[in-house]
Amino acid sequence: MKSFRGWLISQGQEVYEKTLKDPEFLANYITDENLGDEGVPEYEDFLNVGFDAYTLKKGGDPEVWDEDLYDEMLELLSQKGWVDNTEIEFDWEDEDDLEEMFPNLWERFGEDPLG
C-alpha cells in the first residue's frame, strides 16, 4: 500500500484529489504511460524525497539510513504541527466487498491487480 501511495502522490495534486473523491477515476487513469518502468502503480522512493533532502542538508548520505537523523526530522516536523496520519483505514469489511464498491476498478483489474 505504501508503494501505491507514493505513486499516487507522484501523479500530482489534481490526480490525487480526484482519486480521493472518486477512486473509480483510476480505472481509466492508469495507463502504460503513467505506470513507469515497472508497469505497476508503485513508487515508494517518492515518499523518501523529504528525508533524503533533510539528510543531504545535514551533511549525511541519503543512501545510508540514519535512524537518529530521521527521529530528529520527525521531531522538527512535530514541532511545526505535523501529525503522522499515514495509517489507512479501509471502508470495507472484506475484500469480497470490493467488486460491489468499485465495479469499474474491479472490471479492469479484478483479482489480478496489475500483476
Residue by residue, pLDDT tens for the chain (115 residues) are 678 889 999 999 999 999 999 999 999 999 888 887 777 888 888 989 999 999 999 999 999 999 999 999 999 999 999 887 777 777 777 878 888 999 998 888 877 666 5
Domain match, 56 and 111 both: no
In this structure, are 72 and 102 located in the same domain? no
Q: What is the pLDDT of residue 98?
A: 87
Q: Quick one: CA torsion of 21, 100, 4, 90, rounded to 10 degrees?
A: 80
When divided into structural domains, the chain yields a total of 2
The pLDDT score that the predictor gives to residue 80 is 95
What is the pLDDT, as a whole number, of residue 93? 78
* Cα→Cα distances 107→11, 16, 33, Å: 23, 22, 20
53 shares its domain with 77: yes
pLDDT of 109 reads 82
Domain that holds residue 31: 1-42+85-115
Q: What is the pTM of this model?
A: 0.75
**38 and 61 co-located in one domain:** no
User: pLDDT value at position 61?
Assistant: 96
Cα distance between residue 5 and residue 2, in whole Å: 5
